[in-house]
Amino acid sequence: MLGFRRMIAGLLAWVGKVTLLFTFIFAGITLGAHALVWFRTGEWPAAFVLADPLGETLRDLGLAAPSSSWVVLQDFLSWMLKQPTWLFAFLAAVSLGLLLVTLGDSMERNILIELRHRQLIRDRKLRGQ
């Protein structure tokens, strides 16, 4: 059973590391492409902002913002929606990668602690005989 759990822990950590790797590769390629456009045209390319299309879609569905008692949440959501969409994708991918790596590593650490504990118990039983 521990071997299976250890394999899952390793797989989670590996998927997290690959997610981080490809996130940073994609971010670097995108930044390089934007810099190339900037060098050639003299203007930084416009970023797609999610606020306008999402706001229109929500209004079309009949959904409204939370009540006025949620002022902090309203301010945070309006600020986030005014940020470029690539920022959402980047932060989500980095968060997911870090979460998977952390989860896999902590599972691995718990398994190793359990294996050491079992070994100590075996050694104590052998000494006691």
Q: What is the mean pLDDT of residues 71-84?
A: 77
pLDDT at 97: 94
Q: Which of 1-10, 21-30, 54-63 has the lowest mean pLDDT?
A: 54-63
Could you read off the pLDDT of 102-116 as tens digits, one per residue? 999 999 999 999 999
What value does the mean pLDDT take over residues 34-41?
Answer: 85
Spell out the residues 6+ positions from residue 4 whose beta carbon is closer than 8 angstroms to its own. Answer: none
What's the chain's average pLDDT?
A: 85
In this prediction, residue 128 carries a pLDDT of 79
Mean pLDDT along residues 38-47: 81
Q: What is the pLDDT of residue 95?
A: 94
This prediction has a pTM of 0.69
Burial of 30 (0-12, 13-18, 19+ CB in 10 A): middle
pLDDT at 45 over 90: no
